[in-house]
Amino acid sequence: MDDRAGTIPERLLGWYDAHARRLPWRVMPGTVSGEEPARSPPDPYRVWLSEVMLQQTTTAAVAPYFLKFTERWPTVEALAAAPEEDVMGAWAGLGYYSRARNLIACAREVAARGSFPETEADLRALPGLGAYTAAAVAAIAFGQRAVVVDANVERVVARLFAIAEPLPAARKAIREAAERITPESRPGDFAQAMMDLGATICTPRDPKCLLCPVAAQCEARASGDPASLPVKPAKKARPQRRGTAFWIVRDGHVWLVRRDKRGTLGGMRALPDDGWNARGDGTGEPPLPGEWRTAGAVAHVFSHFALTLEVRVRAGNQPGDPEGDGEWWPAERLEEAGLPTLFAKAARLALAGG
């Protein structure tokens, strides 16, 4: 067995006890005479909520959303009872909106069960909980030994064991190495220590090896070029799409629609548009006849494509009613509508007059 499998957890947990990041969802370590931390157990609801929010999103971006959610819905039962449109609106701006839909479904299932399941396997069966989230909740909330590998942990492990195979093929070897060093004791703290190490010390560029508690065990540091790992595949160019959003006002109110749940930004309130999501390139045809002018365009990058959205404004109080389901929303309270970032940008452009 690799000797590092014993020393790495010891060094990391000692470092974590002294240097853990203070985060709104975290129960801080607090050791007493070198024994197990004396503290209240983490709330599974807060652990789960934070892990869902943190998927592909930074801690800085998540913190205010987490605080807002837990103030408004302090328990999983409160979240489960919330109207879906309220949750989607509160999520607006955080991105990856399928997470919010899964959040609601999961909260309702947990509330129906009476509590969160405690094992990794049972957590994995909940809506929206993939391998990483289930392992993280099992380890952090319930103290189960689970192998937790996010992007930060992936980078730390690839460097510790000099795993030079390019991603994503390297993930099997990275997980096996993470399995070898995950301890039975304090697995949740160990997972968070690995995350913190990757976020603050073992960073993608210019890792701070002189400050690293496991520098002596790191094969990549010994090689002289730790920043070269993990080896990432070349990025593919994002497809470019174009579309048009339409700003329709009447008596100080803006016409908003609810987007199809099956598409991009599904289930969110938005300005009407020309269907760029379904066709990949909008037609530019307005939903109503009348006098229109172009206010400009906004750009937004999604995970799989980049969009340039032209914003067209209809002169106020012209005759004709928009077709389909929608609602007239007070323009002065538009920030309360929960528009996703793309349409919030478009609305600001329209309000500014282009």
Mind spelling out the 3-state secondary structure of 202-271?
CCCCCCCHHHCCCHHHCHHHHHCCHHHCCCCCCCCCCCEEEEEEEECEECCEEEEEECCCCCCCCCCEEC
Q: Assess whether 174 and 275 both reside in one domain.
A: no
Phi-psi category of residue 267: left, alpha or beta, with phi > 0 → left and psi -120 to 50 → alpha: left
- Of residues 10, 36, 51, 176, which has the active-site annotation? 51
Q: Assess whether 263 and 320 both reside in one domain.
A: yes
- Nearest Cα neighbor of 141 from 21, 52, 81, 78 is 52
Assigned domain for 310 exists: yes
- Nearest Cα neighbor of 299 from 309, 291, 314 is 309
- Nearest Cα neighbor of 77 from 126, 105, 47, 112 is 112
Domain stops at, among 169, 200, 228: 228
- What does the H/E/C string look like for 33-83? CCCCCCCCCCCHHHHHHHHHHHCCCCHHHHHHHHHHHHHHCCCHHHHHHCC
Q: What is the pLDDT of residue 282?
A: 57
Assigned domain for 300 exists: yes
Q: Is the pLDDT of residue 229 over 70?
A: yes
Q: Is the pLDDT of residue 3 over 70?
A: no
Assigned domain for 235 exists: no
| Phi, psi torsion values for 168, nearest 5 degrees | -85, -5
Q: Assess whether 36 and 95 both reside in one domain.
A: yes
Round the average pLDDT of the chain to a whole number and report it. 89
Percentage with pLDDT > 70 across the chain: 93
Name the pLDDT band for 30 (thresholds 50, 70, 90). low
Domain stops at, among 228, 255, 278: 228
Number of domains in the chain: 2
pLDDT, one tens digit per residue, over 108-129 is: 999 999 999 999 999 999 999 9
Q: Which domain holds residue 66?
A: 4-228
Q: Is the pLDDT of residue 335 over 60?
A: yes
What distance in Å separates the CA atoms of residue 142 and residue 45, rounded to the nearest whole number? 11
Q: Assess whether 156 and 255 both reside in one domain.
A: no
Contacts 24+ apart (CB under 8 A), 176-185: 178/147, 178/148, 178/149, 178/153, 179/147, 180/1, 180/2, 180/5, 181/4, 181/5, 181/8, 181/9, 181/157, 182/9, 182/145, 182/146, 182/147, 182/148, 183/9, 183/13, 183/145, 184/145, 185/36
Q: Assess whether 318 and 283 both reside in one domain.
A: yes
User: Does the global pTM surpass 0.85?
Assistant: no
Bridge pairing between strands 253-258 and 249-250: antiparallel
Assigned domain for 233 exists: no
Q: Assess whether 250 and 218 both reside in one domain.
A: no
Q: What is the pLDDT of residue 310?
A: 93
Q: Please list the alpha-helical segments (H only) found in 82-186.
A: 84-91, 98-113, 120-124, 131-142, 151-160, 171-181
Assigned domain for 307 exists: yes
Q: Taking each helix axis as running N to C, give the angle between helix 4-19 and helix 171-181, from 0 to 180 degrees, rounded to the nearest 10.
A: 80
What CATH number has the domain bearing residue 168? Answer: 1.10.340.30
Instruction: Decide: 44 and 221 in contact? Cβ < 8 Å.
Output: no
Q: Output 156 or 98, whichever has higher pLDDT.
A: 156
Q: Assess whether 264 and 328 both reside in one domain.
A: yes
Q: Assess whether 125 and 159 both reside in one domain.
A: yes
pLDDT, average across residues 60-86:
95
Q: Output 336 or 215, whichever has higher pLDDT.
A: 215
Q: Assess whether 45 and 157 both reside in one domain.
A: yes
Assigned domain for 234 exists: no
pLDDT, average across residues 61-70:
96
Is 51 assigned a catalytic role? yes
Q: Assess whether 118 and 202 both reside in one domain.
A: yes
pLDDT, one tens digit per residue, over 163-214 is: 999 999 999 999 999 999 999 999 999 999 999 999 999 999 999 999 999 9
178-to-16, 112, 154 alpha-carbon distances in Å: 17, 34, 8
What distance in Å separates the CA atoms of residue 342 and residue 309, rounded to the nearest whole number? 8
What CATH number has the domain bearing residue 264? Answer: 3.90.79.10
Q: What is the pLDDT of residue 291?
A: 87
Q: Is the pLDDT of residue 146 over 90?
A: yes
- In one-letter notation, the amino acid at residue 349 is L
Which sign, positive or negative, has the C-alpha torsion 96, 102, 107, 108? Answer: positive
Q: What is the pLDDT of residue 1?
A: 40
Q: Assess whether 156 and 272 both reside in one domain.
A: no
Question: Among 95-99, 200-204, 226-230, which is the least confidently predicted range?
Answer: 95-99
pLDDT, average across residues 213-221:
95
